[in-house]
Amino acid sequence: MRLNKILLAAGLSTLSLNTLAAAFQLSEHSASGLGRAFAGDAAIAENASVVARNPALMSQFTENQLSVVGTYIVPDVSLTGESAPVYSSSAALNDDSIAPEAFVPAAYFVMPLDDKFAVGFGLFSNFGLATEFDEDYAAGQLAGKTEIVTVNFNTSVSYKVNEKLTLAGGLNAVYADATITRHLGDLSNGLAAQGLIIPSSTTALDLEGDDYGYGYNFGVAYDLDENSRFGFHYRSKIDITFDGTYSNELPLIPGVFDNGQSGATQPGQVDLELPAIAEFSGSHQLDDSWGVHYSVMWTQWSSFERLEAYVPSQDEPVFEKEENFSNSFRYAIGADYQLNANLKLRAGIAYDETPTDSQLLSISIPDTNRLWLSAGATYLVDDSSSIDLGLSVVRGQDRTFTETDDAGGAWEFNSEGNAFILAAQYNYAF
């Protein structure tokens, strides 16, 4: 049994859910958008965060604007064990917090050049977050620490064709960094029955790497009249090759740990594709106080068909796995109300589909459909500056599923996944 290859495969299969599940497609680009559940974001020109959702809206600005955003995400993801292999127990699988809290910063700058052209710069993230289990977690070969951070450096230019139509295009440089660590877990009990005494906290996989990827985006904004606008934005896929190091602490035992490295490292590589995203939005001002907004976002998850990992000592992949992801949609509708000259209130609701195959779920955050309930406000400090606050409660569906490792162990879980999101934003025009 080539056990360390099995552990490598298990670890990399969970990476796919952390980087490419809708639950970790970060929409949190602005506090103003969060307050509407991001409804209408490709059609509303409230502040410089339009660089992230539709740079064609930069044509609406008559002066420079800087926006700085901080979003704090508090996940509440728990697992309850339903059944486990004979060398473990279902109670040992219980974990009430497998996803750490995260802070997501962003910054944007829009500069009108003349009455036709504007340029914008953005620093934000479209994918990220992590999961982390204790080193001695029973199903350690299926989940340990999985973390990915992506940063998008975007530059866009808009051109106002006429009073109704604006076009925009941009370039994206995405930096991605990933860490995957897995431990032996209760599989050590099964090995002990064979006379092999190895601690459950032994590192069975440690894979770290980073890379830059490049892509493009384009946007369209069309003003139907002075009270209604439609917007469309497309962001291309980004190919990422995580080049880094691979190691484990397993001893080299032929027939059990054929590739045990006892802490030695060698180069490792994983190819991933961050999918293309398209969004259509509408925004309608009903009167001096009320506005209604809506969005449909499409993500091309179907382009992610399989996951493969390589080490230089082998010509063939050490792991390849069919994923069967499907394209997914996110639907949002929201409204805002101008309470007075200085204060605008907003609220929204969204439904976020999962792209995953129900037969391929993993405990490294089992993905699910989600419902967003959001509220927020903008306070005008003076003629040049404003502050946005937004919050969302995200509710995921409970799911029960079985994950089987390549050693033949079947682990059954019930998962609950929710989150609380709070964002603050400062906007300054000059």
pLDDT of residue 17: 39
Q: What are the helix and strand counts (H, E) for the chain?
A: 4, 20
Q: What secondary structure letter does DSSP report for 117?
A: E
Distance between CA atoms of residues 10 and 7, nearest Å: 5
pTM for the whole thing?
Answer: 0.89
Q: Classify residue 194 by burial, with Cβ atoms within 10 Å: 0-12, 13-18, 19+.
A: exposed
Residue 9's H or E segment, with its range, is helix 3-20
CB atoms within 10 A of CB 2: 17
Number of domains within the chain = 1
* Mean pLDDT to the nearest integer, 264-293: 92
Residue 336's contacts (CB-CB under 8 Å, 6 or more residues apart) are 35, 36, 290, 291, 293, 344, 345, 346, 347
Domain harbouring 117, CATH code = 2.40.160.60
Per-residue pLDDT for 2 more than 70? Answer: no
* DSSP assigned state of 313: T
pLDDT for 19: 40
* In 93-237, beta strands by DSSP E: 102-112, 117-124, 128-132, 145-160, 165-183, 203-225, 228-235
- For the chain, the average pLDDT equals 88
Cβ-contact 76, 118 below 8 angstroms: no
* Inter-residue contact 205 to 185 (CB < 8 Å): no
pLDDT of residue 207: 85
CA dist 97 → 94, 141, 241, 369 (Å): 9, 18, 30, 19
Tokens for 378, please give them. 């903008």
Confidence of residue 187 (pLDDT cuts 50, 70, 90): confident
Task: Provide φ and ψ at 389, rounded to 5°.
Answer: -130, 140
Q: What is the pLDDT of residues 144-184, one digit of tens each?
A: 888 888 999 999 999 999 999 999 999 999 999 988 888 88
State the Cα–Cα distance between residues 290 and 278, nearest whole angstrom: 27
Which amino acid, 153?
Answer: F
pLDDT at 312: 83
H or E element that contains 31 = helix 31-34
Percent of the chain with pLDDT over 90: 53
For the stretch 209-246, pLDDT in tens is: 899 999 999 999 999 999 999 999 999 999 999 888 88
pLDDT band of 378, cuts 50, 70, 90: very high
CB 30 within 8 A of CB 67: yes
pLDDT at 424 over 80: yes
pLDDT of 24 = 63
Q: How far is CA 158 from CA 112, 113, 135, 172, 383, in A?
A: 9, 10, 50, 15, 25
Cα-based distances in Å from 98 to 95, 101, 111, 201? 7, 10, 42, 17
Q: Which domain covers residue 224, as residue numbers?
A: 3-429
Neighbours of 152 (CB within 10 A): 25
